[in-house]
Amino acid sequence: MRFRQAFLLLVVLAIGAFIALDLGRYLSFEQLKASQDGFAQLHAQQPFAVAAVYFAVYVLATALSIPGAVIITLAGGAVFGLWQGLLLVSFASSIGATLAFLASRFVLRDWVEARFGQRLADINAGVDKEGGFYLFTLRLIPVVPFFLINLLMGLTRMKTGTFYVVSQIGMLAGTAVYVNAGTQLAQLDSVQGILSPVLLGSFVLLGIFPWLARRVVAAIQKRKVYARWASVRPKSFDRNLIVIGAGAAGLVSAYIAAAVKAKVTLIEAHKMGGDCLNYGCVPSKALIKSAKIAHQMRHAGKYGLSDTTPQFSFRAVMQRVHDVIRAIEPHDSVARYTGLGVEVLQGYGKLVNPWTVEVTLSDGQMQRLTARSIVIAAGARPIVPPLPGLDDVGYFTSDTLWDEFAKLDDIPKRIVVLGGGPIGCELSQSFARLGAQVTQVEMGERIMVREDEEVSLLARDALQADGVRVLTGHQALRCERRGADKILVASAQGQEVEMVFDALVCAVGRLARLQGYGLEDIGVPTQRTVETNEYLQTLYPNIYAAGDVAGPYQFTHTAAHQAWYAAVNALFGDFKSFKVDHRVIPWATFIDPEVARVGLNEQEAQAQGVAYEVTQYGIDDLDRAIADSEARGFVKVLTVPGKDRILGVTIVGSHAGDLLAEYVLAMKHGLGLNKILGTIHTYPTMAEANKYAAGEWRRAHAPQKLLAWVKKFHDWRRG
> Buried (b) or exposed (e) across 622-631, using 16+ Cβ within 10 A?
bebbeeeebb
How far is Cα 401 from Cα 280, in angstroms, rounded to an integer?
A: 11
125 and 183 in a single domain? The answer is yes
282 in any annotated domain? yes
Cα 496 from chain centre = 40
531 and 621 in a single domain? The answer is no
How far is Cα 45 from Cα 367, in angstroms, rounded to an integer?
A: 88
- Helix intervals (H) in 329-452: 334-339, 390-393, 401-405, 422-433
227 in any annotated domain? no
Give the pLDDT score at 149: 79
Give the pLDDT score at 29: 46
Domain count within the chain: 4
Give SS3 for 148: helix
641 and 519 in a single domain? The answer is no
221 in any annotated domain? no
Show the 3-state SS of 543-564. Answer: EEECHHHCCCCCCHHHHHHHHH
118 in any annotated domain? yes
Give the pLDDT score at 28: 47
CB 136 within 8 A of CB 170: yes
145 and 9 in a single domain? The answer is yes
405 and 373 in a single domain? The answer is no
- Phi, psi (degrees; rounded to nearest 5) at 384: -110, 115
- Bridge partners of 588, per DSSP, are 596
DSSP secondary structure string for all residues of 420-461: -SHHHHHHHHHHHHTT-EEEEEESSSSSSTTS-HHHHHHHHH
197 and 177 in a single domain? The answer is yes
Give the pLDDT score at 579: 93
376 and 399 in a single domain? The answer is no
Instruction: Classify residue 273 by its DSSP letter.
Output: T
Those residues whose C-beta lies under 8 Å from the C-beta of residue 487, and which sit 6 or more positions away, are 393, 479, 480, 481, 498, 499, 500, 501
584 in any annotated domain? no
CB 661 within 8 A of CB 599: no
Given 198, 214, 230, the domain boundary residue is 214
CB 486 within 8 A of CB 502: yes
Give the pLDDT score at 498: 95
402 and 503 in a single domain? The answer is yes
672: domain CATH number is 3.30.390.30
Instruction: Work out the burial of residue 714: count CB atoms within 10 Å of its CB; fewer than 13 is exposed, 13-18 middle, 19 or more buried.
Output: exposed
List Cα–Cα distances, 634 to 618, 651, 653, 655, in angstroms: 4, 6, 6, 12
CB 676 within 8 A of CB 691: yes
Give the pLDDT score at 122: 64
183 and 92 in a single domain? The answer is yes
Give the pLDDT score at 170: 77
- Bridge partners of 646, per DSSP, are 639
**Torsion sign across C-alpha atoms 520, 525, 528, 534:** negative
pLDDT, tens digit, for every residue of 439-457? 999 999 999 999 999 999 9
Amino acid at 497: V
Amino acid at 257: A
Put the strands of the sheet holding 475-482 in their side by side order: 475-482, 485-492, 495-501
405: domain CATH number is 3.50.50.60
714 in any annotated domain? no
327 and 409 in a single domain? The answer is no
- Phi, psi (degrees; rounded to nearest 5) at 268: -135, 130
**Residue 265 belongs to domain spanning:** 239-382+512-572
Under-50 pLDDT residues of the chain: 18, 21-26, 28-30, 32, 186-188, 191, 194, 198-200, 202-203
How far is Cα 183 from Cα 691, in angstroms, rounded to an integer?
A: 68
459 in any annotated domain? yes
252 and 371 in a single domain? The answer is yes
- Bridge partners of 499, per DSSP, are 488
Give the pLDDT score at 22: 47
Instruction: Work out the burial of residue 240: count CB atoms within 10 Å of its CB; fewer than 13 is exposed, 13-18 middle, 19 or more buried.
Output: middle
Give, in degrees to the nearest 5, the angle at Cα 590 between 585 and 591.
135
List Cα–Cα distances, 417 to 197, 257, 318, 471, 599, in angstroms: 74, 41, 18, 10, 29
How far is Cα 638 from Cα 658, in angstroms, rounded to an integer?
A: 19
How far is Cα 668 from Cα 642, in angstroms, rounded to an integer?
A: 20
224 in any annotated domain? no
- Identify whether 552 is preceded by a cis peptide bond (ω within 30 of 0): yes
Name which of 251, 240, 328 is nearest 282 in CA terms: 328
How far is Cα 26 from Cα 28, in angstroms, rounded to an integer?
A: 6
Give SS3 for 370: strand
Amino acid at 259: A
118 and 182 in a single domain? The answer is yes
Instruction: Work out the burial of residue 343: count CB atoms within 10 Å of its CB; fewer than 13 is exposed, 13-18 middle, 19 or more buried.
Output: middle
Give, in degrees to the nearest 5, the angle at Cα 14 between 12 and 19.
95
